[in-house]
Structure 1
Amino acid sequence: MYVAFDQLPDQARVWIYQASRPLAAEELIAVLPQLAQFAEEWTSHGRHLRASAEFLHRQFLVIGLDESLAGASGCSIDSSVHFVRQLEQQLGAQLLEKSHLGFLHEGKVWLLDRRELRAAIADGRVQPDTFYFDNTVATKGELAEKWPAPVEKTWLARYFTGQEKK
């Protein structure tokens, strides 16, 4: 069953999918009914899930699930990925591709290919206080508190402490 994202509890599980480009307002408006319909119809072993889906920063699809009623099963997660693939085709933007890191710079999302991270640190484009969208946060509470977060407070901090793997 669909619920507004802000009505999900802080311990609700989240999945974050980063779009390969910012989406236009018209695109976001067009997919809103589909997001609500997906959340309304999403099931696990025949049980409706208490879920929500929304885009944040015009570039991140966030699916939230209140697991206190029912958790996601392998099949329900597969159906969510199938839904995301459909959105990719409709929007002409990648959502499942993971080779880019998202940063917040002057109020806009900036994507950086993972292979360019060391160079971006060396030339100062990424610094310890640069805000990073860590799309591995697992709960709505973490999303609210740690997304985005300064690089120095994420797994990327190791690149500034000399602990990164060469």
Structure 2
Amino acid sequence: MYISFEQIPQSARIWVYQANRTLTDAEISDIETTLKPAVSQWAAHGASLLASVKVLYNRFVVIALDENQNEASGCSIDASTRWFVELGNRLNIDFFDRSQAYIDGDEIKTFSIFQPKKAIESGLISADTILFVNNNNLHTLADLSTQWKVRASESYLKRFFNNVGSLA
């Protein structure tokens, strides 16, 4: 069953899907129009799931599930993954992008997760750059609020910075 994102408790389980590019307003509308009914019918072993969906920063789609009512099953998680495969195919968007997203002014940009040192050396990011850390430690909506956006020097990239913010 779909409920508004604002009604989802902070303990809700989340899945964050990162698009490989900025989403247009039309794409966001299409995503919401497609996913709200899908979430409304989402079930685990025949039990309705209480969930929501929200597009953040025109780049990320978050599915939030209140597991206090019913927990997701492997099959229900697979079903939600298929939503993004189908959306991606239809809209020509890769929702399984694993590049590192960061904030640059008022834009969300990315660099290869395999070349963080190069991103730092080239000045693409600094110790103060805010990263969107999409890792296995983000389990709940509360985690999204407190651990998703972090300074590069406080992230998994901290080993590349020394006390003055230059390369270590």
Structure 1 residue matching 2:17: 3-state secondary structure: strand
> Residue by residue, what CA displacement relative to the aligned partner does 1:124-147 show, whole Å, maximum 9, x if unpaired?
322221100112222111112233
Report the counterpart of residue 127 of structure 1 in structure 2: 126
Q: Which runs of 5 or more structure 2 residues have no equivalent in the other structure? A: 163-168
Name 1:60's counterpart in structure 2.
60
How much does 1:97 deviate?
A: 3.2
What is the correspondence of 1:9-28 to structure 2 with a 5 Å cutoff?
A: 9-28=9-28
1:94-116 C-alpha deviation (Å, 9 max, x unpaired): 01132x11001101110111222
Contact kept in structure 2, 1:12 and 1:67, CA below 8 Å? yes
Equivalent-residue separation in structure 2 for 1:80 and 1:159 (angstroms): 36
Gaps of 5+ in 1: 162-166
Could you say what the CA RMSD is over the residues aligned between the two structures, in angstroms? 1.4
- Structure 2: how far apart are the matches of 1:105 and 1:129? 11
Counterpart residue number, 1:164: none
Higher mean displacement: 3-12 or 113-122 = 113-122
TM-superposed deviation, 1:120:
1.1
Equivalent residue number for residue 49 of structure 2: 49
Q: Residue 104 of structure 1 contacts residue 148 of structure 1 at CA under 8 Å; is this kept in 2?
A: no
Tell me, in whole angstroms, the C-alpha distance in 2 between the residues paired with 1:38 and 1:151. Answer: 36
CA distance in 2, matches of 1:101, 1:31: 22
**8 Å CA contact retained: 1:42, 1:48:** yes
Give the distance between the partners of 1:75 and 1:158, measured in 2 at CA: 39
Once the two structures are overlaid, the 10-residue window that deviates more, 10-19 or 140-149, is 140-149
Structure-2 separation of matches of 1:103 and 1:147:
11
The ranges of structure 1 where at least 4 consecutive aligned residues each deviate by more than 6 angstroms after the TM superposition are none
Residue 101 of structure 1 aligns with which residue? 100
Q: Is the partner of 1:22 in helix, strand or coil?
A: coil
SS of residue in 1 equivalent to 2:115: helix
Paired residues of 2:116 and 2:157 also in contact (CA < 8 A): no
SS of equivalent to 1:114: coil
User: How many positions carry a matched residue from both structures?
Assistant: 160
